[in-house]
Amino acid sequence: MKKWLSMFFAVALLAASVTGCSSPAPTTEAPEGSEAPADGKYKVAYVARAQADSFAAWLANAVKEESEKYDNMTVDIFDGQASDDTENSLIENAIANKYDLIIIQPNNGEAQRPYAEKAIAAGIKVITTNARISGIEGASSVDADPYKQAQVNAELAVEKIPQNANVVILKGPPGNFHADERYKSWQKEFFEKRPDVTIVGEEIANWNKDEAMTYMETWMQASKKIDAIISMNDNMAAGALEAVKDKPEFAEIQAYGVDGTAEACLLIKDGKMTSTSLQSAYDLAIALMDTSNKLLTGEETQIDMDIDCPLITPDNVDQYIEMHKKAGAIN
């Protein structure tokens, strides 16, 4: 039923727009010998993982805004609704509608792999992003290194989390490259180095704030001592922190995330969150549109790249709050 309904899924052009990081004016002329579309504009489909996911929404907004700098492309945004069936159907629809390029932000990389391969077989260019689906012949990718994203947080946590601490873990969806690699990094870079730490709760919250808040409420009832929240993204960390808000017994709880969202930066500034690592949707959007343009005009045939992942703490959070203010994400 979901798949049938998704065939009628409307284009979800995002209402909220933000201004991305500054970048040089793009070159949009096709090199000699390459074919430009008859109407002068290439059609690009961006299939977002889920608009309910704060980072996915941030990235989709940034992509839409950045795309407006290119007069040779039109970009349509589609919402995968955190559903493999929906996302796969949207990719199939984009193939049927003869888009020139499809950007896929997977819900579950392995579930989307055959549909990305189907698009390539149909002669459509494909970019996978956040997280890349590796090993697809003919596909490009724009991403960040999820192991490093978690590692910079884990290295700080080794020093900051107290001895014999109780911690809880919030995981992303299984099979998602970023979720799996961040979890692997925490295991190697923190838990192997801190055998004194006890895990009193561990659940898959699917990047979702509400799910994370529900799990945290349950853990609080079962364990009166929780020293740290280890989350694979900021959205889940924020949900868990919402559950402990105004509860004195958890006033000193630490929380670690990934993404560097506006919300996470404000939580760090307020002393409620310990750290996050930046996965700049602005930088990803700039790279995605530049890569799309180069692939479509024939300047490049394949591009695979990663953006940086600096650690954000109370010591440097002001510069990232300023970044979000300039982009309009923080008033």
State the SS3 of 262-301.
Answer: HHHHHHHHCCCCCEEEECCHHHHHHHHHHHHHHHHHCCCC
Query: DSSP assignment of 179-220, as one string?
Result: HHHHHHHHIIIIITT-TT-EEEEEEE-TT-HHHHHHHHHHHH
User: What is the average per-residue pLDDT within 31-37?
Assistant: 50
| In the chain, domain spans | 2-130+285-300, 146-277
Residue-level pLDDT at 224: 85
Residue-level pLDDT at 270: 97
Q: Which of 54-58, 169-173, 280-284, 297-301 has the lowest mean pLDDT?
A: 54-58
**pLDDT at residue 33 tops 70:** no
Residue-level pLDDT at 19: 33
Whole-number Å distance between alpha carbons of 322 and 331: 10
- pLDDT above 70 as % of the chain: 88
Whole-number Å distance between alpha carbons of 255 and 267: 10
Q: Which residue has the tokens 């192991």?
A: 147
Check: pTM over 0.75? Answer yes or no. yes
Residue-level pLDDT at 39: 67
Whole-number Å distance between alpha carbons of 321 and 156: 21
How sure is the predictor about 37, in pLDDT bands with cuts at 50, 70 and 90?
A: low
**pLDDT at residue 228 tops 60:** yes
Whole-number Å distance between alpha carbons of 40 and 273: 48
**pLDDT at residue 30 tops 50:** no
**pLDDT at residue 106 tops 80:** yes
- pLDDT above 90 as % of the chain: 81
Fold assignment, 146-277: Rossmann fold (3.40.50)
**What's the chain's length in residues?**
331
Closest C-alpha to 267, from 280, 255, 250 = 255
User: What is the average per-residue pLDDT within 260-289?
Assistant: 97
CATH code for residues 2-130+285-300: 3.40.50.2300
The alpha-helical segments, DSSP class H, found in the chain are: 2-6, 54-67, 84-96, 109-121, 146-160, 177-186, 209-222, 234-244, 262-269, 281-297, 317-327
146-277 and 2-130+285-300 share a CATH fold: yes
**pLDDT at residue 192 tops 70:** yes
Residue-level pLDDT at 54: 85
Structure token pair of residue 67:
């795309």
User: What is the average per-residue pLDDT within 306-331?
Assistant: 95
User: What is the average per-residue pLDDT within 279-297?
Assistant: 96
